[in-house]
Structure 1
């Protein structure tokens, strides 16, 4: 377990507007697990050929994805976008 946390960027209201509650719950679950990875979260998801920067991770079997930014300096994973195809 690490001391990393996660947060919404820019805000929860902005990112979750129009997204079903079950999908929001899955995003929160995934980002909690990403934060538990700590510094290793810079290698999770796409792109697979490099570390760091804005990353993507599939949601619910490819029915959408989240874009997240792990920032080691802040010890935080920021959720930056939720794309849901439904």
Structure 2
């Protein structure tokens, strides 16, 4: 497997209707979180401990909630807030 990030449950549900500049900032930060998770967990498929809790990331003009799931090698973007 390779690490990836995705919107959960779907892109339209999580970020639909948000301004394009805000979406770009969320996706840029998601890329950073992905690289950090990939470096920290190395081979997430063999991770045997309890996974991390969901976290909040701040971006210009808002924030988003994400969850890192090492066994799936995925960072899930769960909710965004654009202010």
Please give the range of the TM-score, normalised by the shorter of the 2 chains. Answer: 0.7 to 0.9
1:35-57 CA deviation, whole Å, 9 max, x = no partner? Answer: 1112548xxxxxxxxx8111101
3-state DSSP of counterpart to 1:31: helix
By relative contact order (CA 8 Å, sep 6+), the higher-ranking structure is 2
Question: Please, what is the CA RMSD of the aligned residues?
Answer: 1.8
Larger radius of gyration: 2
Segments of 5+ residues of structure 1 without an aligned counterpart are: 42-50
1:4-83 counterparts in 2 under 5 A?
A: 4-38=3-37, 40=40, 52-60=52-60, 63-83=61-81
Please, which runs of 5 or more residues in structure 2 have no aligned partner? 42-50
With structure 1 as the length reference, what TM-score do the two structures score? 0.75
- Runs of 4 or more, structure 1, over 3 Å off, are none
Cα offset, 1:18, TM superposition: 2.2
The count of aligned residue pairs is 72
